[in-house]
């Protein structure tokens, strides 16, 4: 049975739109469904709760990180991107980590954190991501398509996710016909049983012969 997988893409938004597009196109070529928050780039607590439900529904999780740390949650002090990552790890989602090789030297302007506090937070987050062997480094967005396809292929072999199937492929058509016939017989027996309890013995015997 052919499966397709939903893959959640997590990243800072404005600076990584090109990277997200490359990853999304690679996922579509791999017959996967990209899921992300392109329609809701602003971050807030209410949106984060919705994001968690989308992560729950996804089979795999991809994190793209470059030179921005992202919007900060007022209570945790973490970026919403890091909170998404933490939630994916805590819930056991198989994760692909795509980490820019050298953002502080190669990226400029709006593509890099402007404050010392933001840079420190990003460095700490990068150290967390780099502490695992399951991380792939990139320099330009064009590299991400191949990186995703290779990482996803490896992840599928090691983590057999639930995936999605077409409704008409989930059950054999002949089985559906058989189930429908059994359902009709069950409904008829239920109606007849009700009639038997309110009828005389002769009528009950007659109805039984019509069924069996």
Measured CA angle at 57 (ends 28, 27), to 5 deg: 10
Cα-Cα-Cα-Cα dihedral of 8, 9, 14, 19, to 10°?
A: -150
Residue 4: the pLDDT is: 87
Q: How far apart are CA 184 and CA 187, in angstroms?
A: 5
144, HSE (Cβ side, Cα atoms, 13 Å): 28
pLDDT at residue 39, as a whole number = 56
Pairwise CA distance, residues 166 & 174, whole Å: 16
Query: Contacts for 75-80 with beta carbons within 8 Å, 24 or more apart?
Result: 78/121, 79/12, 79/121, 79/125, 80/43, 80/48, 80/51
d(CA 156, CA 143): 20
| Per-residue tens of pLDDT for the chain, all 212 residues | 578 899 999 999 889 999 999 999 999 999 899 998 765 655 677 788 889 999 999 999 999 999 999 989 988 999 999 999 999 999 999 999 999 999 999 999 999 999 999 999 999 999 999 988 789 999 999 999 999 999 999 888 887 777 766 556 555 556 556 656 666 766 665 566 555 555 555 555 554 555 44
Residue with tokens 């506090």: 117
The predicted structure's pLDDT at residue 168: 60
Collapsed DSSP state (helix, strand, coil) of residue 36:
coil
| pLDDT number for residue 61 | 96
- Sheet strands side by side (includes 135-138): 32-35, 5-10, 60-65, 95-100, 135-138
CA distance 121 to 132: 18
Predicted model pTM:
0.75
Q: What is the per-residue pLDDT for 201? A: 56
Phi, psi dihedral angles at 31 (to 5 degrees): 60, 40
Q: How far is CA 154 from the centre of its chain?
A: 17
């Amino acid at each position: 049975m052919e499966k397709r997988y939903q893959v959640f893409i997590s990243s800072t938004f404005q600076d990584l739109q090109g990277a997200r597009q490359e990853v999304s196109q690679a996922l579509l070529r791999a017959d996967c469904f990209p899921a992300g928050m392109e329609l809701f780039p602003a971050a807030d607590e209410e949106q984060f709760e919705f994001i968690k439900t989308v992560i729950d529904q996804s089979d795999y999780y991809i994190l793209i990180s470059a030179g921005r740390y992202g919007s900060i949650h007022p209570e945790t002090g973490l970026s919403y991107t890091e909170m998404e990552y933490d939630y994916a790890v805590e819930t056991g989602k198989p994760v692909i980590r795509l980490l820019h090789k050298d953002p502080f030297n190669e990226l400029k302007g709006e593509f890099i954190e402007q404050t010392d506090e933001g840079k420190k937070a990003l460095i700490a987050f990068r150290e967390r991501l780099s502490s695992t062997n399951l991380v792939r480094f990139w320099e330009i967005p064009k590299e991400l398509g191949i990186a995703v396809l290779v990482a996803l292929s490896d992840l599928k072999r090691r983590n057999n996710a639930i995936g999605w199937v077409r409704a008409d492929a989930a059950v054999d058509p002949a089985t559906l016909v058989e189930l429908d016939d059994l359902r009709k017989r069950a409904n008829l027996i239920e109606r007849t049983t009700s009639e038997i309890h309110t009828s005389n013995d002769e009528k009950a015997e007659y109805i039984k012969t019509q069924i069996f």
